[in-house]
Amino acid sequence: MWKLLKYLKKYKLESILAPLLKMTEAAFDLLVPLVMAQIIDVGIHNRDSGQILKMGGVLVLLGLLGLAFSLTAQYFSAKAAVGFGTGVRNELFRHINSLSYREIDTIGTSTLITRITSDINQVQSGVNLVLRLFLRSPFIVFGAMVMAFTVNARAAMIFVVTIPLLSVVVFGVLLVSMPLYKKVQRQLDRVLLTTRENLLGARVVRAFNRQPDEITKFDEENDLLVRSQIFVGKVSALMNPATYIIINAATIVLVWTGAWQVDEGVITQGEVVALVNYMSQILVELVKLANLIITISKSLACANRISAVFDVEGSIVEKNHDRIGTKAAGAAAGDAAAVPKVEFAGMDFCYAGAKEASLNGISFAAMSGQTIGVIGGTGSGKSTLVNLIPRFYDATEGTVRVDGTDVKEYPVGQLREKIGVVPQKAVLFKGTLGENMRWGKPDATDEEIYEALDIAQAREFVDSKEQGLDLPIEQGGRNLSGGQRQRLTIARALVRRPEILILDDSASALDFATDAALRKAIRENTKNMTVFLVSQRATTIRNADRILVLDDGQLVGQGTHEELFETCEVYREICLSQLSEKEVRAHG
Protein backbone atom coordinates (compact mmCIF):
# COMPACT_ATOMS: atom_id res chain seq x y z
CA MET A 1 0.00 0.00 0.00
CA TRP A 2 2.71 2.48 1.00
CA LYS A 3 4.49 1.98 -2.31
CA LEU A 4 1.53 3.54 -4.10
CA LEU A 5 1.82 6.80 -2.15
CA LYS A 6 4.68 7.89 -4.41
CA TYR A 7 2.06 8.61 -7.08
CA LEU A 8 0.80 11.47 -4.89
CA LYS A 9 4.16 13.27 -5.07
CA LYS A 10 3.01 15.39 -8.01
CA TYR A 11 0.07 16.52 -5.89
CA LYS A 12 1.84 17.38 -2.62
CA LEU A 13 0.30 20.86 -2.45
CA GLU A 14 -3.24 19.55 -3.07
CA SER A 15 -2.69 16.68 -0.61
CA ILE A 16 -1.70 19.18 2.11
CA LEU A 17 -4.23 21.92 1.34
CA ALA A 18 -7.25 19.60 1.13
CA PRO A 19 -7.10 18.28 4.74
CA LEU A 20 -5.99 21.69 6.10
CA LEU A 21 -8.96 23.41 4.50
CA LYS A 22 -11.31 20.70 5.78
CA MET A 23 -9.95 21.16 9.30
CA THR A 24 -10.46 24.92 8.97
CA GLU A 25 -14.06 24.22 8.01
CA ALA A 26 -14.27 21.87 11.03
CA ALA A 27 -13.02 24.68 13.29
CA PHE A 28 -15.93 26.84 12.13
CA ASP A 29 -18.31 23.95 12.91
CA LEU A 30 -16.90 23.73 16.44
CA LEU A 31 -17.69 27.39 17.03
CA VAL A 32 -21.39 26.99 16.16
CA PRO A 33 -22.50 25.44 19.52
CA LEU A 34 -20.80 28.30 21.40
CA VAL A 35 -22.67 30.86 19.30
CA MET A 36 -25.92 28.97 19.96
CA ALA A 37 -25.17 29.04 23.68
CA GLN A 38 -24.80 32.83 23.45
CA ILE A 39 -28.14 33.16 21.64
CA ILE A 40 -29.92 31.11 24.34
CA ASP A 41 -28.18 32.45 27.44
CA VAL A 42 -27.98 36.10 26.40
CA GLY A 43 -30.37 36.81 23.53
CA ILE A 44 -33.36 34.63 24.47
CA HIS A 45 -32.83 34.81 28.24
CA ASN A 46 -32.69 38.64 28.16
CA ARG A 47 -35.19 38.99 25.29
CA ASP A 48 -32.44 40.87 23.41
CA SER A 49 -33.45 40.69 19.75
CA GLY A 50 -30.38 42.67 18.71
CA GLN A 51 -28.10 40.03 20.25
CA ILE A 52 -30.11 37.27 18.59
CA LEU A 53 -29.77 38.94 15.16
CA LYS A 54 -26.09 39.64 15.74
CA MET A 55 -25.32 36.03 16.71
CA GLY A 56 -27.58 34.80 13.88
CA GLY A 57 -25.43 36.81 11.46
CA VAL A 58 -22.34 35.18 12.94
CA LEU A 59 -23.92 31.74 12.31
CA VAL A 60 -24.61 32.66 8.67
CA LEU A 61 -21.05 33.93 8.26
CA LEU A 62 -19.62 30.73 9.77
CA GLY A 63 -21.79 28.68 7.41
CA LEU A 64 -20.66 30.60 4.31
CA LEU A 65 -17.00 30.43 5.28
CA GLY A 66 -17.32 26.72 6.00
CA LEU A 67 -18.97 26.16 2.61
CA ALA A 68 -16.21 28.04 0.78
CA PHE A 69 -13.44 26.13 2.55
CA SER A 70 -15.28 22.83 2.03
CA LEU A 71 -15.74 23.33 -1.73
CA THR A 72 -12.11 24.36 -2.16
CA ALA A 73 -10.93 21.34 -0.16
CA GLN A 74 -13.08 18.98 -2.21
CA TYR A 75 -11.65 20.44 -5.42
CA PHE A 76 -8.08 19.84 -4.25
CA SER A 77 -8.82 16.34 -2.94
CA ALA A 78 -10.59 15.34 -6.17
CA LYS A 79 -7.71 16.70 -8.25
CA ALA A 80 -5.14 14.78 -6.18
CA ALA A 81 -7.19 11.55 -6.17
CA VAL A 82 -7.86 11.57 -9.91
CA GLY A 83 -4.22 12.38 -10.63
CA PHE A 84 -3.14 9.60 -8.29
CA GLY A 85 -5.48 7.10 -9.98
CA THR A 86 -4.24 8.14 -13.43
CA GLY A 87 -0.62 7.75 -12.39
CA VAL A 88 -1.16 4.31 -10.84
CA ARG A 89 -3.21 3.12 -13.83
CA ASN A 90 -0.60 4.29 -16.36
CA GLU A 91 2.29 2.81 -14.39
CA LEU A 92 0.47 -0.49 -13.80
CA PHE A 93 -0.33 -0.76 -17.50
CA ARG A 94 3.33 -0.06 -18.32
CA HIS A 95 4.47 -2.63 -15.75
CA ILE A 96 2.12 -5.32 -17.07
CA ASN A 97 3.49 -4.70 -20.56
CA SER A 98 7.02 -5.20 -19.21
CA LEU A 99 6.14 -8.67 -17.89
CA SER A 100 6.95 -11.73 -19.96
CA TYR A 101 4.47 -14.39 -20.97
CA ARG A 102 5.60 -16.38 -17.94
CA GLU A 103 4.39 -13.79 -15.40
CA ILE A 104 1.16 -13.02 -17.26
CA ASP A 105 0.38 -16.75 -17.45
CA THR A 106 1.03 -17.08 -13.70
CA ILE A 107 -1.02 -14.08 -12.54
CA GLY A 108 -3.90 -14.54 -14.99
CA THR A 109 -5.49 -12.14 -17.45
CA SER A 110 -8.81 -11.83 -15.60
CA THR A 111 -7.30 -10.71 -12.31
CA LEU A 112 -5.05 -8.21 -14.12
CA ILE A 113 -8.12 -6.65 -15.74
CA THR A 114 -9.84 -6.39 -12.35
CA ARG A 115 -6.81 -4.78 -10.74
CA ILE A 116 -6.24 -2.18 -13.44
CA THR A 117 -9.93 -1.16 -13.47
CA SER A 118 -12.06 -1.93 -10.41
CA ASP A 119 -9.24 -2.04 -7.86
CA ILE A 120 -7.66 1.25 -8.97
CA ASN A 121 -11.07 2.97 -8.98
CA GLN A 122 -11.65 1.75 -5.41
CA VAL A 123 -8.25 3.01 -4.25
CA GLN A 124 -8.85 6.35 -6.00
CA SER A 125 -12.13 6.77 -4.10
CA GLY A 126 -10.32 5.88 -0.88
CA VAL A 127 -7.66 8.53 -1.46
CA ASN A 128 -10.33 11.15 -2.14
CA LEU A 129 -12.21 10.37 1.07
CA VAL A 130 -9.03 10.14 3.17
CA LEU A 131 -7.89 13.59 2.06
CA ARG A 132 -11.30 15.04 2.88
CA LEU A 133 -12.32 13.22 6.05
CA PHE A 134 -9.42 11.29 7.59
CA LEU A 135 -8.17 14.32 9.53
CA ARG A 136 -11.46 16.24 9.67
CA SER A 137 -13.50 13.60 11.47
CA PRO A 138 -10.97 12.89 14.25
CA PHE A 139 -10.40 16.65 14.54
CA ILE A 140 -14.13 17.20 15.11
CA VAL A 141 -14.36 14.29 17.57
CA PHE A 142 -11.46 15.34 19.76
CA GLY A 143 -12.09 19.03 19.14
CA ALA A 144 -15.66 18.61 20.40
CA MET A 145 -14.31 16.95 23.55
CA VAL A 146 -11.84 19.80 24.12
CA MET A 147 -14.56 22.41 23.54
CA ALA A 148 -16.81 20.52 25.94
CA PHE A 149 -14.13 20.97 28.66
CA THR A 150 -14.14 24.72 28.01
CA VAL A 151 -17.90 24.70 28.62
CA ASN A 152 -17.99 22.47 31.71
CA ALA A 153 -15.23 20.11 32.84
CA ARG A 154 -17.49 17.88 34.91
CA ALA A 155 -20.00 17.28 32.11
CA ALA A 156 -17.15 16.82 29.64
CA MET A 157 -16.01 13.65 31.46
CA ILE A 158 -18.87 11.88 29.67
CA PHE A 159 -16.98 12.56 26.42
CA VAL A 160 -13.80 11.01 27.88
CA VAL A 161 -15.67 7.72 28.44
CA THR A 162 -17.68 7.81 25.21
CA ILE A 163 -14.89 8.40 22.69
CA PRO A 164 -12.73 5.35 23.67
CA LEU A 165 -15.83 3.11 23.51
CA LEU A 166 -16.58 4.40 20.04
CA SER A 167 -12.95 3.86 18.97
CA VAL A 168 -13.11 0.21 20.09
CA VAL A 169 -16.24 -0.36 17.99
CA VAL A 170 -14.91 1.43 14.91
CA PHE A 171 -11.46 -0.17 14.83
CA GLY A 172 -12.85 -3.57 15.86
CA VAL A 173 -15.09 -3.59 12.80
CA LEU A 174 -12.12 -2.45 10.69
CA LEU A 175 -9.94 -5.39 11.81
CA VAL A 176 -12.71 -7.90 11.09
CA SER A 177 -13.83 -6.47 7.76
CA MET A 178 -10.46 -6.00 6.01
CA PRO A 179 -9.76 -9.74 5.44
CA LEU A 180 -13.36 -10.19 4.32
CA TYR A 181 -13.02 -7.47 1.69
CA LYS A 182 -9.93 -9.23 0.32
CA LYS A 183 -12.01 -12.39 0.00
CA VAL A 184 -14.72 -10.44 -1.85
CA GLN A 185 -12.17 -9.10 -4.36
CA ARG A 186 -10.81 -12.59 -4.99
CA GLN A 187 -14.33 -13.85 -5.67
CA LEU A 188 -14.87 -10.90 -8.02
CA ASP A 189 -11.85 -12.18 -9.97
CA ARG A 190 -13.53 -15.57 -10.30
CA VAL A 191 -16.77 -14.01 -11.57
CA LEU A 192 -14.80 -12.00 -14.11
CA LEU A 193 -12.91 -15.12 -15.20
CA THR A 194 -16.16 -17.03 -15.73
CA THR A 195 -17.65 -14.11 -17.67
CA ARG A 196 -14.54 -13.69 -19.82
CA GLU A 197 -14.33 -17.40 -20.66
CA ASN A 198 -18.01 -17.49 -21.60
CA LEU A 199 -17.82 -14.42 -23.82
CA LEU A 200 -14.60 -15.45 -25.58
CA GLY A 201 -15.89 -18.99 -26.04
CA ALA A 202 -19.45 -18.01 -26.97
CA ARG A 203 -19.35 -19.94 -30.26
CA VAL A 204 -18.11 -23.10 -28.56
CA VAL A 205 -20.71 -22.80 -25.79
CA ARG A 206 -23.51 -22.50 -28.33
CA ALA A 207 -22.09 -25.21 -30.59
CA PHE A 208 -22.25 -27.71 -27.71
CA ASN A 209 -25.53 -26.26 -26.38
CA ARG A 210 -23.94 -25.63 -22.99
CA GLN A 211 -25.69 -22.32 -22.26
CA PRO A 212 -27.70 -23.76 -19.32
CA ASP A 213 -24.52 -25.20 -17.77
CA GLU A 214 -22.63 -21.92 -18.19
CA ILE A 215 -25.56 -19.96 -16.72
CA THR A 216 -25.61 -22.33 -13.73
CA LYS A 217 -21.86 -21.98 -13.29
CA PHE A 218 -22.08 -18.19 -13.43
CA ASP A 219 -25.01 -18.16 -10.99
CA GLU A 220 -22.98 -20.24 -8.51
CA GLU A 221 -19.96 -17.94 -8.71
CA ASN A 222 -22.12 -14.82 -8.58
CA ASP A 223 -24.18 -16.15 -5.64
CA LEU A 224 -20.96 -16.81 -3.73
CA LEU A 225 -19.86 -13.23 -4.46
CA VAL A 226 -23.22 -11.90 -3.30
CA ARG A 227 -23.13 -13.97 -0.12
CA SER A 228 -19.60 -12.75 0.62
CA GLN A 229 -20.62 -9.13 0.02
CA ILE A 230 -23.74 -9.49 2.18
CA PHE A 231 -21.74 -11.05 5.02
CA VAL A 232 -19.07 -8.35 5.02
CA GLY A 233 -21.84 -5.76 4.63
CA LYS A 234 -23.55 -7.09 7.75
CA VAL A 235 -20.29 -6.88 9.69
CA SER A 236 -19.73 -3.31 8.51
CA ALA A 237 -23.37 -2.43 9.16
CA LEU A 238 -22.91 -3.21 12.87
CA MET A 239 -20.88 -0.03 13.15
CA ASN A 240 -23.73 2.46 12.70
CA PRO A 241 -26.20 1.01 15.23
CA ALA A 242 -23.39 0.39 17.74
CA THR A 243 -22.16 3.98 17.50
CA TYR A 244 -25.74 5.33 17.65
CA ILE A 245 -26.44 3.35 20.83
CA ILE A 246 -23.28 4.63 22.51
CA ILE A 247 -23.84 8.25 21.43
CA ASN A 248 -27.52 8.31 22.38
CA ALA A 249 -26.77 6.72 25.74
CA ALA A 250 -24.11 9.38 26.31
CA THR A 251 -26.57 12.10 25.27
CA ILE A 252 -29.17 10.81 27.78
CA VAL A 253 -26.56 10.87 30.55
CA LEU A 254 -25.44 14.33 29.45
CA VAL A 255 -28.99 15.77 29.50
CA TRP A 256 -29.77 14.06 32.80
CA THR A 257 -26.68 15.41 34.58
CA GLY A 258 -27.03 18.77 32.81
CA ALA A 259 -30.59 19.20 34.13
CA TRP A 260 -29.40 18.74 37.73
CA GLN A 261 -26.56 21.18 37.18
CA VAL A 262 -28.92 23.78 35.67
CA ASP A 263 -31.16 23.50 38.76
CA GLU A 264 -28.10 23.98 40.96
CA GLY A 265 -26.94 26.96 38.90
CA VAL A 266 -23.65 25.29 37.99
CA ILE A 267 -24.32 25.41 34.24
CA THR A 268 -26.64 27.40 31.98
CA GLN A 269 -29.29 26.08 29.62
CA GLY A 270 -27.31 27.34 26.62
CA GLU A 271 -24.23 25.42 27.77
CA VAL A 272 -26.27 22.21 28.06
CA VAL A 273 -27.51 22.75 24.51
CA ALA A 274 -23.91 23.39 23.39
CA LEU A 275 -22.77 20.12 25.00
CA VAL A 276 -25.62 18.20 23.33
CA ASN A 277 -24.63 19.81 20.00
CA TYR A 278 -21.05 18.71 20.49
CA MET A 279 -22.27 15.20 21.21
CA SER A 280 -24.37 15.31 18.02
CA GLN A 281 -21.36 16.50 16.04
CA ILE A 282 -19.40 13.55 17.35
CA LEU A 283 -22.21 11.22 16.25
CA VAL A 284 -22.32 12.67 12.72
CA GLU A 285 -18.55 12.58 12.33
CA LEU A 286 -18.27 9.04 13.64
CA VAL A 287 -20.87 7.89 11.13
CA LYS A 288 -18.75 9.56 8.43
CA LEU A 289 -15.64 8.00 9.92
CA ALA A 290 -17.33 4.59 9.98
CA ASN A 291 -18.19 4.85 6.29
CA LEU A 292 -14.69 6.16 5.63
CA ILE A 293 -13.15 3.18 7.39
CA ILE A 294 -15.29 0.77 5.35
CA THR A 295 -14.05 2.48 2.18
CA ILE A 296 -10.48 2.44 3.49
CA SER A 297 -10.82 -1.28 4.22
CA LYS A 298 -11.83 -1.91 0.62
CA SER A 299 -9.14 0.44 -0.67
CA LEU A 300 -6.38 -1.17 1.38
CA ALA A 301 -7.39 -4.62 0.15
CA CYS A 302 -7.38 -3.36 -3.44
CA ALA A 303 -4.10 -1.44 -2.93
CA ASN A 304 -2.40 -4.59 -1.67
CA ARG A 305 -3.61 -6.47 -4.75
CA ILE A 306 -2.22 -3.72 -6.99
CA SER A 307 1.08 -3.66 -5.08
CA ALA A 308 1.31 -7.43 -5.50
CA VAL A 309 1.37 -6.96 -9.29
CA PHE A 310 4.03 -4.24 -8.99
CA ASP A 311 6.08 -6.64 -6.84
CA VAL A 312 6.16 -9.19 -9.66
CA GLU A 313 9.42 -8.70 -11.50
CA GLY A 314 9.65 -9.60 -15.16
CA SER A 315 11.83 -12.61 -15.85
CA ILE A 316 13.01 -10.95 -19.08
CA VAL A 317 15.91 -8.83 -17.82
CA GLU A 318 17.93 -6.67 -20.21
CA LYS A 319 21.64 -6.91 -19.43
CA ASN A 320 22.72 -4.30 -21.95
CA HIS A 321 20.56 -1.33 -22.87
CA ASP A 322 22.86 -0.19 -25.69
CA ARG A 323 22.35 -1.43 -29.22
CA ILE A 324 24.85 -4.13 -30.06
CA GLY A 325 26.38 -5.30 -33.29
CA THR A 326 26.23 -8.88 -34.45
CA LYS A 327 28.97 -11.33 -35.13
CA ALA A 328 27.61 -11.89 -38.61
CA ALA A 329 27.69 -8.17 -39.38
CA GLY A 330 31.30 -7.84 -38.24
CA ALA A 331 32.59 -10.97 -39.94
CA ALA A 332 34.45 -11.08 -43.18
CA ALA A 333 32.37 -11.66 -46.27
CA GLY A 334 33.48 -15.24 -46.51
CA ASP A 335 32.76 -16.01 -42.86
CA ALA A 336 29.46 -14.16 -42.49
CA ALA A 337 27.48 -16.95 -44.10
CA ALA A 338 28.96 -19.41 -41.61
CA VAL A 339 27.31 -17.66 -38.66
CA PRO A 340 23.82 -19.10 -38.09
CA LYS A 341 20.98 -16.62 -38.14
CA VAL A 342 19.24 -18.56 -35.35
CA GLU A 343 20.90 -21.20 -33.21
CA PHE A 344 19.62 -23.33 -30.33
CA ALA A 345 22.35 -24.98 -28.24
CA GLY A 346 21.35 -27.57 -25.63
CA MET A 347 18.19 -25.63 -24.85
CA ASP A 348 15.72 -26.76 -22.17
CA PHE A 349 12.54 -24.91 -21.25
CA CYS A 350 10.03 -25.39 -18.44
CA TYR A 351 6.87 -23.37 -17.85
CA ALA A 352 6.41 -21.72 -14.45
CA GLY A 353 4.87 -24.21 -12.02
CA ALA A 354 5.24 -27.16 -14.40
CA LYS A 355 6.79 -30.36 -13.04
CA GLU A 356 8.37 -31.39 -16.31
CA ALA A 357 10.19 -29.47 -19.03
CA SER A 358 8.25 -28.67 -22.20
CA LEU A 359 11.39 -28.77 -24.35
CA ASN A 360 14.52 -30.84 -23.73
CA GLY A 361 17.98 -30.67 -25.29
CA ILE A 362 17.01 -28.74 -28.41
CA SER A 363 19.98 -28.03 -30.69
CA PHE A 364 19.87 -26.83 -34.31
CA ALA A 365 21.06 -23.97 -36.50
CA ALA A 366 19.14 -21.97 -39.13
CA MET A 367 21.17 -20.00 -41.67
CA SER A 368 20.21 -16.68 -43.18
CA GLY A 369 17.70 -17.08 -46.01
CA GLN A 370 16.65 -20.59 -45.00
CA THR A 371 13.07 -21.72 -44.50
CA ILE A 372 12.70 -23.90 -41.41
CA GLY A 373 9.62 -26.05 -41.03
CA VAL A 374 8.52 -27.05 -37.51
CA ILE A 375 6.08 -29.92 -37.21
CA GLY A 376 4.84 -32.25 -34.49
CA GLY A 377 1.77 -33.41 -32.70
CA THR A 378 -0.43 -31.25 -30.50
CA GLY A 379 1.46 -30.28 -27.34
CA SER A 380 4.85 -31.25 -28.75
CA GLY A 381 6.28 -27.76 -28.09
CA LYS A 382 6.22 -26.15 -31.56
CA SER A 383 4.88 -22.76 -30.47
CA THR A 384 7.04 -22.79 -27.35
CA LEU A 385 10.12 -23.32 -29.51
CA VAL A 386 9.55 -20.31 -31.77
CA ASN A 387 8.43 -18.10 -28.85
CA LEU A 388 11.95 -18.40 -27.45
CA ILE A 389 13.47 -16.67 -30.50
CA PRO A 390 11.91 -13.19 -29.87
CA ARG A 391 12.43 -13.89 -26.15
CA PHE A 392 8.78 -14.05 -25.13
CA TYR A 393 10.16 -16.65 -22.72
CA ASP A 394 13.70 -17.30 -21.53
CA ALA A 395 15.31 -20.70 -21.88
CA THR A 396 15.68 -22.59 -18.60
CA GLU A 397 18.98 -24.16 -19.71
CA GLY A 398 21.19 -23.72 -22.75
CA THR A 399 21.21 -20.77 -25.11
CA VAL A 400 19.26 -19.28 -28.00
CA ARG A 401 21.36 -17.14 -30.35
CA VAL A 402 20.44 -14.70 -33.09
CA ASP A 403 23.30 -13.65 -35.41
CA GLY A 404 25.69 -15.46 -33.10
CA THR A 405 24.68 -13.45 -30.00
CA ASP A 406 22.71 -14.84 -27.06
CA VAL A 407 19.22 -13.29 -27.17
CA LYS A 408 19.64 -12.42 -23.47
CA GLU A 409 22.43 -10.01 -24.44
CA TYR A 410 20.22 -8.00 -26.81
CA PRO A 411 18.11 -5.02 -25.76
CA VAL A 412 14.62 -6.49 -26.17
CA GLY A 413 13.57 -3.73 -28.58
CA GLN A 414 16.55 -4.31 -30.88
CA LEU A 415 16.00 -8.08 -30.87
CA ARG A 416 12.33 -7.81 -31.79
CA GLU A 417 13.06 -5.28 -34.54
CA LYS A 418 14.75 -8.18 -36.34
CA ILE A 419 11.76 -10.50 -35.98
CA GLY A 420 8.27 -10.56 -37.42
CA VAL A 421 5.85 -12.81 -35.53
CA VAL A 422 2.48 -14.06 -36.76
CA PRO A 423 0.86 -15.85 -33.77
CA GLN A 424 -1.57 -18.75 -33.89
CA LYS A 425 -4.50 -16.52 -33.03
CA ALA A 426 -4.90 -13.74 -35.58
CA VAL A 427 -5.29 -10.50 -33.62
CA LEU A 428 -6.22 -7.20 -35.26
CA PHE A 429 -6.97 -3.92 -33.53
CA LYS A 430 -9.79 -1.46 -33.94
CA GLY A 431 -8.90 1.18 -36.52
CA THR A 432 -8.20 1.22 -40.23
CA LEU A 433 -6.37 -1.35 -42.31
CA GLY A 434 -3.49 1.09 -42.79
CA GLU A 435 -3.14 1.65 -39.03
CA ASN A 436 -2.98 -2.09 -38.42
CA MET A 437 -0.43 -2.61 -41.18
CA ARG A 438 1.88 0.07 -39.76
CA TRP A 439 2.18 -1.56 -36.32
CA GLY A 440 5.63 -2.93 -37.15
CA LYS A 441 6.75 0.03 -39.26
CA PRO A 442 4.99 3.35 -38.50
CA ASP A 443 6.54 5.08 -41.52
CA ALA A 444 5.65 2.36 -44.03
CA THR A 445 4.51 3.72 -47.39
CA ASP A 446 1.31 2.64 -49.11
CA GLU A 447 3.43 0.82 -51.72
CA GLU A 448 5.19 -1.22 -49.04
CA ILE A 449 1.85 -2.15 -47.47
CA TYR A 450 0.31 -3.20 -50.79
CA GLU A 451 3.41 -5.26 -51.57
CA ALA A 452 3.01 -7.09 -48.25
CA LEU A 453 -0.69 -7.61 -48.98
CA ASP A 454 0.23 -9.13 -52.34
CA ILE A 455 2.66 -11.59 -50.74
CA ALA A 456 0.11 -12.51 -48.03
CA GLN A 457 -2.57 -13.18 -50.69
CA ALA A 458 -4.74 -10.48 -49.13
CA ARG A 459 -4.71 -7.89 -51.93
CA GLU A 460 -7.67 -9.39 -53.79
CA PHE A 461 -10.17 -9.24 -50.92
CA VAL A 462 -8.88 -5.82 -49.80
CA ASP A 463 -9.45 -4.42 -53.30
CA SER A 464 -12.92 -5.99 -53.36
CA LYS A 465 -13.87 -3.88 -50.31
CA GLU A 466 -13.13 -0.75 -52.41
CA GLN A 467 -11.92 1.22 -49.37
CA GLY A 468 -8.20 0.59 -49.68
CA LEU A 469 -6.11 1.23 -46.59
CA ASP A 470 -9.05 3.14 -45.06
CA LEU A 471 -10.94 -0.14 -44.66
CA PRO A 472 -12.33 -0.06 -41.09
CA ILE A 473 -11.28 -2.93 -38.82
CA GLU A 474 -13.52 -3.72 -35.88
CA GLN A 475 -12.17 -4.82 -32.51
CA GLY A 476 -10.45 -8.18 -32.94
CA GLY A 477 -11.17 -8.00 -36.68
CA ARG A 478 -14.66 -9.38 -36.13
CA ASN A 479 -15.89 -7.86 -39.40
CA LEU A 480 -13.52 -10.19 -41.29
CA SER A 481 -13.42 -13.94 -41.79
CA GLY A 482 -10.82 -16.12 -40.08
CA GLY A 483 -8.82 -16.56 -43.28
CA GLN A 484 -8.88 -12.82 -43.99
CA ARG A 485 -7.64 -12.05 -40.49
CA GLN A 486 -4.79 -14.53 -40.85
CA ARG A 487 -3.67 -13.09 -44.18
CA LEU A 488 -3.72 -9.56 -42.80
CA THR A 489 -1.64 -10.53 -39.76
CA ILE A 490 0.91 -12.15 -42.09
CA ALA A 491 0.97 -8.97 -44.19
CA ARG A 492 1.44 -6.87 -41.04
CA ALA A 493 4.55 -8.88 -40.14
CA LEU A 494 5.90 -8.64 -43.72
CA VAL A 495 5.55 -4.84 -43.90
CA ARG A 496 8.55 -4.33 -41.62
CA ARG A 497 10.68 -6.69 -43.75
CA PRO A 498 12.07 -8.55 -40.72
CA GLU A 499 15.29 -10.55 -40.84
CA ILE A 500 13.45 -13.47 -39.20
CA LEU A 501 9.80 -14.28 -39.94
CA ILE A 502 7.90 -16.65 -37.62
CA LEU A 503 4.61 -18.06 -38.91
CA ASP A 504 3.15 -19.96 -35.97
CA ASP A 505 0.47 -22.13 -37.59
CA SER A 506 -0.83 -18.86 -39.02
CA ALA A 507 -2.36 -20.35 -42.19
CA SER A 508 -4.60 -22.92 -40.54
CA ALA A 509 -7.77 -21.15 -41.74
CA LEU A 510 -6.60 -20.99 -45.38
CA ASP A 511 -7.58 -23.45 -48.05
CA PHE A 512 -4.83 -25.55 -49.62
CA ALA A 513 -4.66 -23.46 -52.81
CA THR A 514 -4.29 -20.16 -50.94
CA ASP A 515 -1.83 -21.77 -48.52
CA ALA A 516 0.28 -23.00 -51.42
CA ALA A 517 0.19 -19.60 -53.14
CA LEU A 518 1.15 -17.92 -49.85
CA ARG A 519 4.15 -20.22 -49.31
CA LYS A 520 5.30 -19.71 -52.92
CA ALA A 521 5.03 -15.91 -52.59
CA ILE A 522 6.93 -15.89 -49.30
CA ARG A 523 9.67 -18.13 -50.77
CA GLU A 524 10.05 -15.91 -53.86
CA ASN A 525 9.92 -12.55 -52.06
CA THR A 526 11.91 -13.24 -48.92
CA LYS A 527 15.28 -14.28 -50.33
CA ASN A 528 17.39 -13.09 -47.38
CA MET A 529 14.76 -13.70 -44.72
CA THR A 530 14.98 -16.66 -42.35
CA VAL A 531 11.46 -18.09 -42.18
CA PHE A 532 10.09 -20.42 -39.51
CA LEU A 533 6.94 -22.26 -40.64
CA VAL A 534 5.11 -23.91 -37.74
CA SER A 535 2.33 -26.18 -38.90
CA GLN A 536 0.59 -29.50 -38.39
CA ARG A 537 0.16 -29.86 -42.16
CA ALA A 538 2.89 -31.84 -43.84
CA THR A 539 2.10 -30.11 -47.16
CA THR A 540 2.85 -26.72 -45.61
CA ILE A 541 6.40 -27.48 -44.52
CA ARG A 542 7.52 -30.23 -46.95
CA ASN A 543 9.42 -27.81 -49.25
CA ALA A 544 11.29 -26.15 -46.38
CA ASP A 545 15.09 -26.17 -46.50
CA ARG A 546 15.13 -27.92 -43.15
CA ILE A 547 12.33 -29.50 -41.14
CA LEU A 548 12.40 -29.88 -37.36
CA VAL A 549 10.27 -32.72 -35.98
CA LEU A 550 9.17 -32.40 -32.35
CA ASP A 551 7.64 -35.13 -30.24
CA ASP A 552 6.80 -34.64 -26.56
CA GLY A 553 9.33 -31.80 -26.21
CA GLN A 554 12.16 -33.71 -27.94
CA LEU A 555 13.74 -32.88 -31.29
CA VAL A 556 13.42 -36.35 -32.82
CA GLY A 557 14.48 -35.44 -36.33
CA GLN A 558 15.78 -32.67 -38.57
CA GLY A 559 16.51 -32.62 -42.26
CA THR A 560 14.73 -32.35 -45.59
CA HIS A 561 11.34 -33.86 -46.37
CA GLU A 562 12.86 -36.80 -48.24
CA GLU A 563 15.43 -37.54 -45.54
CA LEU A 564 12.94 -37.41 -42.70
CA PHE A 565 10.35 -39.52 -44.50
CA GLU A 566 12.91 -42.28 -44.75
CA THR A 567 14.64 -41.92 -41.38
CA CYS A 568 12.17 -40.37 -38.89
CA GLU A 569 9.27 -42.57 -37.80
CA VAL A 570 7.33 -39.68 -36.20
CA TYR A 571 7.52 -37.58 -39.37
CA ARG A 572 6.58 -40.56 -41.51
CA GLU A 573 3.49 -41.22 -39.37
CA ILE A 574 2.42 -37.56 -39.61
CA CYS A 575 2.78 -37.56 -43.40
CA LEU A 576 0.96 -40.85 -43.91
CA SER A 577 -1.88 -39.72 -41.62
CA GLN A 578 -2.53 -36.85 -44.02
CA LEU A 579 -1.45 -38.15 -47.43
CA SER A 580 -0.92 -41.48 -49.14
CA GLU A 581 2.64 -42.71 -49.54
CA LYS A 582 2.41 -42.15 -53.27
CA GLU A 583 1.31 -38.53 -52.77
CA VAL A 584 4.06 -37.92 -50.24
CA ARG A 585 6.76 -39.24 -52.54
CA ALA A 586 5.27 -37.49 -55.55
CA HIS A 587 5.26 -34.12 -53.80
CA GLY A 588 8.61 -34.73 -52.20
Considering the chain, tell me which residue range(s) the CATH 3.40.50.300 domain(s) occupy.
334-418+537-588
Q: Could you give the CA distance from residue 503 to residue 515 in angstroms, rounded to a whole number?
A: 12
Give me the pLDDT at residue 47, please. 78
- 421 has which bridge partners? 502
Going by the DSSP 8-state scheme, the letter that residue 426 receives in this structure is -
The separation between the first and the last C-alpha atoms of the chain, rounded to the nearest angstrom, is 63
Give me the pLDDT at residue 581, please. 67
Give me the pLDDT at residue 332, please. 39
Considering the chain, tell me which residue range(s) the CATH 1.20.1560.10 domain(s) occupy.
11-311
Q: Could you give the CA distance from residue 233 to residue 283 in angstroms, rounded to a whole number?
A: 21
Give me the pLDDT at residue 1, please. 60
**C-alpha to C-alpha distances, 271 to 130, 260, 503, 532, nearest whole angstrom:** 33, 13, 85, 88
Q: Taking the chain (588 residues) in consecutive chunks of 10 residues, what is each chunk's mean pLDDT?
A: 81 90 89 84 78 87 91 93 92 88 81 87 90 84 84 80 81 78 81 82 83 89 89 81 83 82 79 83 77 80 88 76 55 56 92 84 91 88 91 90 90 88 87 90 90 90 87 86 89 90 83 84 84 87 90 90 89 84 61
Give me the pLDDT at residue 333, please. 41
Q: Could you give the CA distance from residue 351 to residue 359 in angstroms, rounded to a whole number?
A: 10
**DSSP letters of 352-390?**
TT-SS-SEEEEEEEE-TT-EEEEEESTTSSHHHHHHTTT
Helix axes 153-200, 136-151, angle to 10 degrees: 170
Q: Could you give the CA distance from residue 487 to residue 135 in angstroms, rounded to a whole number?
A: 60
Q: Any idea which fold 334-418+537-588 has?
A: Rossmann fold (3.40.50)
At 546, give phi and psi (nearest 5°).
-145, 140
Superfamily classification of domain 11-311: ABC transporter type 1, transmembrane domain (1.20.1560.10)
| Residue 428, SS3 per DSSP | coil
Exposure letters 425-451 (e unless 16+ CB within 10 A, then b): ebebeeeebebbbbbbbeebeeebbbb
